[in-house]
Amino acid sequence: MNSKITSRILFLLALFALLGYSNYPSAKKFLFSNAEKISQLIGGKATEASNLIFPLQGIHLFLPEVEKNRIRVVMDATAIFPLENVAIQKVLKGQFEFLKEKQGNYLLWKKVSPDLFLSDFAKDLNLLATNVKKIKSIQPTENGEQLLFHMDAGKRLAIESPPINSLFDKKSYEWVYDGQKNLYSAYLADAANILNLGLDLKGGVYLDIGLDAERSNLDYLTGKMNGIIQKLKSLGTPIEDATSHAGSIVLSFPQNTTVDWNKEDVKALLDGLDRSTSGNKTTFTLSSSLKKTMEQESLSQVMGVIRSRIDQMGVKEPTIQKRGTSSVVVQIPGQNDAARIKALLTQPANLEFRLLTKDQTKSSETTLLDYETKDPVTKEILKSEQVAVSSQIAMKGNLVSDARVVFDQFSGSPQISMTLTAEGANTFGSITAENVGQSLAIILDGKIQSMPRINQAIYGGQASITGQFSVEEARDLAIILRSGSLPVSLVVNEERVMGATLGGDAIKKSISSLLVGFGILGLFVAVYYALSGIFAILTLLVNFFLILGILAFFGATLTLPGIAGIILTIGMAIDANVLVFERIREELNAGSSPRKAIEQGFNRVAVTILDANITTLFIALVLFQLGTGPVRGFAVTLAIGIFTTVLTSLVFTRILFELKYLFKANLKKISI
């Protein structure tokens, strides 16, 4: 018996360790939401970090000149030494002043100090300069719970060195490094494992995004027909006209023209097309089987791109589900800017590089595209014009492997730094080498973003877009470019913005109903079962907090139906305790000793409790597998509640009985 008691007590300690690790911040946020406070703190740190770090990126190297008691600073010609920078001041310790001379930039040592060595001082400054130059961008996640540091490929931050240690208290923030994404995430230590709230509790954006199947099918059909037309012309078949109408393309031939559609080269191009001929006109449409296949493939690809874009926003627990065969339902908790989310998810992101032509008129070899000049501060459009670019695409966006927001070290304006694939680097190098002195238009979805002049060949695999962006626009564009282009056009069938106020009211009402129900149950079992009823109340409390802890530990999302599942679980849990207590009473009435009654009460009811709960668990699994949205939220908490109910009713309650009664030598009566 002693070994059993010891093992159960150890289990109890492990149980509370899990609760302590996972659940306290979850329960705190569930009961007293602090998400807004965390978001404001992280957002403030993002601004503070940008203001501190980016002015330091123009500094390249510090060289000590010991004999002159000064330190030489090698900087960009137009850069200004940030003397008031907090991180710089921390290293300077107030002992230096800045002097700009024709020969270079200098720090003058105010007074000689025996405690300060120039070599050590230069080492600290060089470490600072090296640290900041690795950082490409700093931004909070969209939900405001983490601060992201995007790094140069393969570079690692010295977290405990300046300027990072000037910003972040090591005890208050935790850091996670993702080597594949070259990304550091800093988040508040006490905000880890906080319970995620669903759209109905937190508020957010709901979008039903559908495939623009008609346009996509016509685009695909047009591409196929261009190949057919070229092949017919190469075979000497004259074509008078090609027109599109209602999802079909009609080819018109001169009278008495014979077209051999069964010719091997032509027949291979007709795969997937339905063809009908009337007079000298032949109409082509996509076959129903090809349309269905294209729709399925396109929907899967669209879901992948949408998920990638949402993941890069830093949103926790978004819902992305297929609806039917041609639309996707997206739910993003914590967001309220539906227009921005819609633009971010539906922008095609077709990136092209084309050379500007000397002849700025429309011709067979040129294409006119829109270009807008904006006010750098207000972003108001000052000028809109059309620019002629080559009809030939020099390079496509599929050769871009990464895109990040960086800030110009002189103007401070955001821009997009793109990293090219190996093939892209070679292609871009050839383009720039062959066209030195010309301008290269960077085009996104048919609109020119920037037109940099090629001054020299660029073989480093880097390119940039220096349009007049706001920080948010640049950030969204980088996300879009990283996630790749959409395979088809999209339309938004439905959009809704749900306010967080409704979610807060729902939480309050749910908590009120939970407390009322818990209070009534607690009062009943305490009166009816005496001390054993108190044990049942403690078991219910542990059960409730264990459910929240498991939800937080595995990063699950709590929804309004999920709260309903928790309330149902409480009812099921008290039922399990009632079964145990009634069995113990039966054993006592049958003449069993208190020790024997407790032992038999738990052992004989265990099968009944397991049987009832396993049956309910199967139902929860079916609901989760076949259900969507709210139904799944209910199924998740119900399944977790079933596990915790069995665990607490058969183990935790028994531990309480053993701690109270089984150590007594002459146990004659129990309170039940």
Q: Residues 249-307: pLDDT tens digits?
A: 888 888 888 887 888 777 878 888 888 888 888 888 888 888 888 888 888 888 888 88
| pLDDT tier for residue 311 given thresholds of 50, 70 and 90 | confident
Between 146 and 194, the higher pLDDT residue: 146
Domain boundary among 463, 498, 533: 498
611 and 580 share a domain?
yes
Mean pLDDT estimate for the chain: 76
Give 555-569 pLDDT, tens digit per residue.
Answer: 677 777 888 888 888
pLDDT on residue 89: 65
307 against 51, higher pLDDT = 307
Strand, coil or helix: 331: strand
* Co-location of 560 and 607 in the same domain: yes
Stronger pLDDT, 582 or 175, i.e. the higher one: 582
Q: What's the whole-number mean pLDDT along residues 54-58?
A: 70
DSSP per position, 217-259:
HHHHHHHHHHHHHHHHHHTT----EEEEETTEEEEE--TT---
In the numeric block, which tokens belong to residue 4?
């059993």
Residues 656 and 513 in one domain: yes
Both 565 and 649 in a single domain? yes
Contact 668, 661 (CB under 8 A): no
33 has pLDDT over 50 = no
Instruction: Say if residue 663's pLDDT is above 80.
Output: no
Spatial distance between the Cα atoms of 331 and 203, rounded to a whole number of angstroms: 10
User: Is residue 22 scored above 50 in pLDDT?
Assistant: no
Separation in Å, CA 619 to CA 71, 569, 570, 649: 74, 14, 18, 21
The answer, yes or no, to whether residue 76 has pLDDT greater than 80, is no
In a domain, 657, yes or no: yes
> What pLDDT sits at residue 28?
47
Contacts of 251 (CB under 8 A, 6+ apart): 225, 229, 239, 241, 242, 281, 282, 284
The confidence score (pLDDT) of residue 613 equals 84
The predicted model gives 593-612 an average pLDDT of 83
Q: Which of 159-163, 625-629, 649-653 has the highest mean pLDDT?
A: 649-653
Q: How many domains does the chain have?
A: 4
397 has pLDDT over 80: yes
Q: Which residue has the higher pLDDT, 106 or 185?
A: 185
Examine residue 198 and state whether it is found in any structural domain, yes or no.
no
Q: What is the pLDDT of residue 13?
A: 57
Check whether residue 393 and residue 285 sit in a common domain: no
Flag whether 13 is in a domain: yes
Q: Would you mind telling me the total number of residues written for the chain in this entry?
A: 672
127 and 91 in contact (C-beta within 8 Å)?
no
Is 238 a domain residue? Answer: yes
**Residue 213 — very low, low, confident or very high, per pLDDT cuts 50/70/90?**
confident
Is residue 415 situated within a structural domain?
Answer: yes
| Confidence (pTM) | 0.57
309 and 374 both lie in a single domain: no
> Of 105, 109, 118, 100, which Cα lies nearest the Cα of 74?
105
Asked if residue 628 lies in contact with residue 559, where contact means CB atoms within 8 angstroms, the answer is no
pLDDT digits (tens, 9 = 90+) for 86-141: 666 666 666 666 555 555 555 655 555 555 555 666 666 777 777 777 888 888 87
Reduce the DSSP state of residue 192 to 3 states and report it: coil
Quick one: pLDDT at residue 306?
87
**How sure is the predictor about 75, in pLDDT bands with cuts at 50, 70 and 90?**
low
Asked if residue 328 and residue 221 are part of one domain, the reply reads: yes
Q: Which pLDDT band holds residue 32 (cuts at 50, 70, 90)?
A: very low
| Residue 123 CB burial class (10 angstroms; 0-12, 13-18, ≥19) | middle
Q: What is the CATH number of the domain that holds 426?
A: 3.30.1360.200
- Going by DSSP bridges, is the β-strand pair 327-333/319-323 parallel, antiparallel, or unpaired? antiparallel
Residues 403 and 493 in one domain: no
332 φ, ψ (degrees, to nearest 5): -120, 100
Q: What is the mean pLDDT of residues 371-385?
A: 73
Regarding whether 397 and 364 lie in a shared domain, the answer is yes
Q: How far is CA 356 from its chain centroid?
A: 37
Going by pLDDT thresholds of 50, 70 and 90, the confidence category of residue 17 is low
Q: Is residue 666 assigned to a domain? A: no
**Strongest mean pLDDT among 101-115, 139-153, 386-400, 461-475:** 386-400
* Same domain for 443 and 326: no
Whether residues 161 and 147 fall in one domain: yes
Strand order in the sheet with 281-286: 241-245, 248-252, 281-286, 273-278
One DSSP character per residue, 95-159 reads: -EEEEEETTEEEEEESS--TT--HHHHHHHHHHHHHHHHTEEEEEE-TTSS-EEEEE-TT----T
pLDDT at 23 over 70: no
Confidence band, pLDDT 50/70/90 cuts, at residue 30: very low
Amino acid sitting at position 461: G
Nearest-angstrom CA–CA distance, 207 and 337: 12
Tokens of 79: 């850069």
**Residue 522: pLDDT above 70?**
yes
CATH of the domain at 623: 1.20.1640.10
* Segment among 18-27, 179-188, 486-495 with least mean pLDDT: 18-27
pLDDT value at position 80?
Answer: 59
How does pLDDT run across 350-361, given as a tens digit for each residue? 888 999 988 777
Q: What percent of the chain has pLDDT over 70?
A: 75
In a domain, 103, yes or no: yes
Reference 276, options 247, 235, 248; nearest CA is 248
97 and 23 in a common domain: no
208 part of a folded domain: yes
User: At residue 324, does pLDDT exceed 70?
Assistant: yes
Q: Quick one: what percent of the chain has pLDDT higher than 90?
A: 0
State the residue range of the domain holding 281.
204-347+486-498
Our CA angle for 346, 493, 206, nearest 5°, is: 75
